[in-house]
């Protein structure tokens, strides 16, 4: 069963043709999203990407999956709210337009849920009965996969792990609540902690690495400072890892997964983030046999979301055909 999957990111569109029976990427490609041009232009680019992939595929595909960075209506395949794209995507009939253009059934899925499904099926969680996937980036998303099926919930919103409240008196979150995991440990939250340290005049390499331009502070800059022995940068990453550890401990307690897979841009910090997560989980998980739980980095690289979207399309096409 071959399907196409596209990961709609703020910077790039990543696409694959994926053989779901063999777990094989037949062909893949990446092009810039150019999200600032608006939905119509982005949809045309998705269509062009899909046509390019389909032209290179030695066999036809049966369905298309699109991983979207936000909320959508699973009944109509219409986008509702894509917060990290710079133009309005409310009410865009993305699924219908793609389906009409490429002539294949098209199904939307949240991009973090697609990541979790891809990693659970053919990535770091392959072979496990229950997998929790977490993406760390501009936001914090995730998904739960049980016996190969995504836990969907009401309107596909199960898995919003970044909006669990871990500190009831914490900072405001973009969702409207306070003290969410995302408000403490997302990429922007880590960068903001670096900016705060520089503004406070703390002794840190972060200022020098960005030549005094606070707007240039990113998690990657903070990791570079930490690797050079900067105690302030190390403290920032330790704190983010601490809050992430609380969130992961909650998820392990709730779902008792065999594998927790962590990916996304912030996860590239490696042990600066994974180390504190594992320590906090060991300290705070008391009812789950942790010797049977593995916390692993993602294995499929930048294609996790596109592969997951293709898997989702295959599952939904099979359901529709029954």
pLDDT band of residue 155 (cuts 50, 70, 90) is confident
In 3D, which of 33, 31, 27, 28 has the Cα closest to residue 10? 33
Structure tokens at 169: 């008196």
pLDDT band of residue 321 (cuts 50, 70, 90) is confident
**Which pLDDT does position 174 carry in this prediction?**
87
- In the three-class reduction of DSSP (H, G, I as helix; E, B as strand; rest coil), residue 43 is classed as helix
**Which pLDDT does position 159 carry in this prediction?**
94
Backbone torsions φ then ψ of 166, nearest 5 degrees: -110, -10
pLDDT band of residue 84 (cuts 50, 70, 90) is confident
Residue 166: is its pLDDT beyond 90? yes
Give the tens place of pLDDT for each residue, 117-130: 999 999 999 999 99
In 3D, which of 257, 234, 240 has the Cα closest to residue 159? 257
Mean pLDDT of 263-285: 95
Residue 85: is its pLDDT beyond 90? no
* 184-222: burial string, b at 16+ Cβ within 10 Å, e else: bbbbbbbbbbbbebbeeeeebbbbebbeeeeeebbbbbb
**Which pLDDT does position 133 carry in this prediction?**
98
Strand order across the 294-297 sheet: 149-150, 140-146, 130-136, 259-263, 294-297
Q: Helices 271-284 and 219-227: crossing angle, nearest 10°?
A: 90
Share of the chain above pLDDT 90, in %: 92
Q: Are 117 and 306 in contact (CB under 8 A)?
A: no
Mean pLDDT of 262-277: 94
Show the domains of the chain with their CATH numbers: 2-117+302-321 (3.30.420.40), 127-299 (3.30.420.40)
**Which pLDDT does position 100 carry in this prediction?**
97
**Which pLDDT does position 236 carry in this prediction?**
98
In 3D, which of 116, 230, 228, 139 has the Cα closest to residue 190? 139
Alpha-carbon gap, residue 88 to 96, rounded angstroms: 18
| Residues forming beta bridges with residue 17, ordered by sequence position | 4, 27
SS3 for 81-120 is ECCCCCCCCCCECHHHHHHHHHCCCEEEEEHHHHHHHHHH
Residue 185: is its pLDDT beyond 90? yes
Share of the chain above pLDDT 70, in %: 100
Structure tokens at 148: 């190969």
**Which pLDDT does position 83 carry in this prediction?**
85
Torsion of CA 238, 240, 243, 247, to 10 degrees: -120
């Amino acid at each position: 069963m071959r399907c196409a999957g596209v990961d709609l990111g703020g910077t790039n569109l990543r696409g694959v043709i994926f053989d779901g029976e063999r777990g094989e990427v037949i062909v893949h490609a990446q092009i810039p999203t150019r999200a600032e041009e608006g939905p119509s232009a982005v949809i045309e680019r998705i269509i062009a990407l899909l046509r390019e992939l389909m032209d290179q595929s030695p066999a036809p595909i049966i369905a298309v999956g699109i991983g979207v960075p936000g909320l959508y209506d699973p009944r109509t395949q219409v986008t509702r709210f894509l917060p990290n794209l710079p133009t309005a995507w409310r009410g865009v009939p993305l699924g219908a337009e793609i389906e009409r253009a490429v002539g294949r059934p098209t199904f939307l899925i949240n991009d973090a849920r697609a990541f979790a499904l891809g990693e659970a099926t053919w990535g770091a969680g392959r072979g496990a009965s229950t997998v929790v996937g977490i993406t760390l980036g501009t936001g914090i998303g995730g998904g739960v996969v049980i016996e190969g099926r995504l836990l969907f919930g009401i309107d596909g919103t199960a898995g919003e792990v970044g909006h669990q409240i871990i500190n009831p008196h914490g900072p405001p979150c973009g969702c409207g609540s306070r003290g969410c995991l995302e408000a403490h440990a997302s990429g922007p939250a880590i960068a903001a902690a670096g900016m705060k340290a520089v503004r406070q005049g703390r002794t840190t390499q972060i200022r020098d690495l960005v030549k005094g331009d606070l707007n240039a502070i990113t998690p990657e800059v903070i990791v570079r400072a930490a690797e050079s022995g900067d105690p302030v940068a190390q403290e920032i990453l330790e704190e983010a890892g601490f809050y992430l550890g609380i969130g992961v401990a909650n998820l392990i307690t709730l779902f008792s997964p065999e594998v927790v897979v962590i990916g996304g841009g912030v996860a590239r910090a490696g042990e600066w983030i994974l180390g504190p997560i594992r320590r906090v989980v060991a300290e705070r998980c008391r009812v789950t046999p942790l010797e049977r739980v593995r916390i692993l980095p993602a294995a499929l690289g930048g294609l996790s979301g596109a592969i997951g979207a293709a898997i989702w399309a295959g599952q939904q096409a099979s359901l529709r055909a029954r």
